[in-house]
Structure 1
């Protein structure tokens, strides 16, 4: 730790329902380089104290409901843990704090042994489903734990939520409903030592991290230059420029709903996502080439 601050690394990956095909998803190129992010925060490379890895579309619904999700996530756990330790700056050791999976949505959380990995207490996991029949093809999974203070005090509570919300540009209202369903139904037992017996929401925590495939899109007005583009390749080429992406963010559905309408994710902060190139929807086996259905929405009216 640096002073009393913990370094948390979060990764989220939609596997595009490929887990049962045995494709070479070793995840190393995706996960390992970010372990060096600490070089921006300190003079010497520093391993993260907590690493949280979320998955969406881990398996098709029928395979997930048949019980295969647990086997797949356990294989991912073994690989991720080995790669975190292999690529940590000083080959630090980690412990799996918790794992939770519901059909295609999964979450693994690791702790650095030298700081929190062998220190955490009161570990809890929960899940909730959205979508047809609330079966879990969409929904959220959560992990909560407490890191006691060095003097034996209560310390701080960390809550991680990985979610997969409804897709398609025109279903923004459904995504908002999914979010509120997760907030209202992803409930944790009261932490030991508290007087209340009432289940607590994800907000009953010192630190909350909410991530995943949230599926909010960009909704352009009809007079926008980008709304005139007819090909995915053209949009991808223009959005290579960070300055363009920064302008485009003003039409991001999530930012509009949160900052202008106050309908979703109120009180939460998001990183500067426009500094990174779009990741939806890459062609399988390709680098920086996109499938149909680029993550923009050209329309002349807002979602109600």
Structure 2
């Protein structure tokens, strides 16, 4: 049995989302024959400044969408009825309601809103299908990290790690509570990322990816070192669904647990299936392409190619493709064919007109996937590995030019994955990641949070009309008080 996973990413350029999301998340030509079992939606530049700098919210829920959608009814979405949502929590709820409406309208099935999380400009939503997934979830964790100056988080990553009972997916659950079997995990990880901007910053983007691998770490407390589970009922009684708001920080259990547990640390690579997506910001390389029709590729010739919709001719000019081939980023990841136009940079309001005045176009918005190609043989030499055929089928991978809210175009991908397992429980310290865990990740996250709030306060005081008025008023009051004190003395 396979699982269908739908992933969508959209850099909304700090704009209020005011468009029906159906053609993005459920396009009619995407060959969706079965309902997605897991739906993951990521946004970049989700909130306007300065309120984005105060954004660090995470919610785990086990509430079904059906009751929420029933209250909304089946009326179509009307952009004209929107109120502007400036607060981050309000934006999260507003966007979540849009996604939930679309899911219900296109599936007519019950889904659970599993995760709603944000960090500065990033937002991540996860929904799971009640019929096939929800009751088999063993553990859920959220982790975040900011990259760039002072680790503020305007660029960075938000990740979700989901552990599912793979026996249930494969139809190997016991028929009765008295029947026992060896529990097998299916570990899924989803990372929404936003990397360094500007065409010349290829090296920094590679470093941002490295930082996310080093500092986006999950703290799993579900199993002890010597855990040996024999039944689904016992495992579900003992497990906790955990939420990590900060890397290695406080965790709040949503389900009660009475067993003592030992912490394990997992990178994003410690997964059976890993999806890395977002505004990765790699552009089309210009100056270094010397053999483009015997001429150097420049903005003018690039625009000619794009206007003729001959983007296949410039795939070799994609910075990210070059960096992956050279082994500098996204180690072990795969991607579908780029059979769509570059997703950036467009005139806002335009379907196909590129704005090249200050930015180089590129396939900035991407969805990559990784699957565990080697695994330890149970009961054998830890160094022994076994190769497997690909358990991932990419059904569709496309952009959606009709969305003109932003200078980016949204992208979606539909996958079918087939769980394949040789192990029962993933042990911490597995050598899957190409980078070591950053021992100072908690300190960097704390500094990033403090820096983000300082920047937000300064931006509000000196970059907004209300803040400037407040600053002037405080200044006037201060000068008046000083004048009074001087007069009295």
Q: Same fold (TM over 0.5)?
A: yes
Aligned CA RMSD, in angstroms, stands at: 2.2
Q: Give 1:230's aligned residue.
A: 300
- Counterparts of 1:99 and 1:144 in 2: how far apart (Å)? 13
1:100/1:142 contact within 8 Å kept: no
Task: Select the structure of larger CA radius of gyration.
Answer: 2
2:282/2:362 contact within 8 Å kept: no
Q: Give 1:169's aligned residue.
A: 199
The 1:255/1:228 distance shift into structure 2, 3 A limit, reads closer
CA drift of 1:15 comes to: 0.2
CA drift of 1:139 comes to: 0.3
2:209 to 159, 179, 184: 179
Residue 27 (structure 1) aligned with residue 21 (structure 2) = yes
In structure 1, the gaps of 5 or more residues are 40-44, 298-304
The 1:194/1:217 distance shift into structure 2, 3 A limit, reads farther
- Counterparts of 1:296 and 1:164 in 2: how far apart (Å)? 15
Residue 265 of structure 2 aligns to a residue in which SS?
coil
CA drift of 1:296 comes to: 5.0
The 1:142/1:80 distance shift into structure 2, 3 A limit, reads same
- Counterparts of 1:52 and 1:214 in 2: how far apart (Å)? 17
CA drift of 1:117 comes to: 2.9
CA drift of 1:122 comes to: 0.8
The 1:282/1:84 distance shift into structure 2, 3 A limit, reads farther
2:284/2:360 contact within 8 Å kept: no
1:70 to 79, 85, 89: 89
**1:65-144, aligned counterparts within 5 Å?**
65-67=53-55, 68-88=87-107, 91-144=108-161
- Counterparts of 1:294 and 1:56 in 2: how far apart (Å)? 19
Q: In the TM superposition, what whole-angstrom CA distance separates every residue of 1:220-253 from its partner, at most 9, and x where no partner exists?
A: 4134247144277424213x13xxx334222221
Residue 209 of structure 1 aligns to a residue in which SS?
strand
- Counterparts of 2:164 and 2:90 in 1: how far apart (Å)? 29
In structure 2, the gaps of 5 or more residues are 56-86, 174-180, 226-261, 364-489
Moved more, 178-187 or 286-295: 286-295
Q: Give 1:253's aligned residue.
A: 319
Q: Give 2:268's aligned residue.
A: 202
RCO greater where, 1 or 2, for CA within 8 Å and sep 6 or more? 2
The 1:138/1:217 distance shift into structure 2, 3 A limit, reads same
Residue 46 (structure 1) aligned with residue 34 (structure 2) = yes
2:195/2:281 contact within 8 Å kept: yes
The 1:60/1:206 distance shift into structure 2, 3 A limit, reads same
1:290 to 340, 350, 354: 354
2:344/2:362 contact within 8 Å kept: no
Moved more, 189-198 or 162-171: 189-198
Q: Give 2:11's aligned residue.
A: 14
Residue 142 of structure 2 aligns to a residue in which SS?
strand
2:155/2:196 contact within 8 Å kept: yes
2:11/2:43 contact within 8 Å kept: yes
- Counterparts of 2:331 and 2:313 in 1: how far apart (Å)? 22
Q: Give 2:327's aligned residue.
A: 262
- Counterparts of 1:194 and 1:264 in 2: how far apart (Å)? 34
Residue 141 of structure 2 aligns to a residue in which SS?
strand
Q: Give 2:30's aligned residue.
A: 37
Residue 342 of structure 2 aligns to a residue in which SS?
coil
Moved more, 96-105 or 170-179: 96-105
- Counterparts of 1:277 and 1:38 in 2: how far apart (Å)? 20
Residue 33 of structure 1 aligns to a residue in which SS?
coil
- Counterparts of 1:232 and 1:224 in 2: how far apart (Å)? 10
- Counterparts of 1:122 and 1:296 in 2: how far apart (Å)? 37
Q: Give 2:343's aligned residue.
A: 279
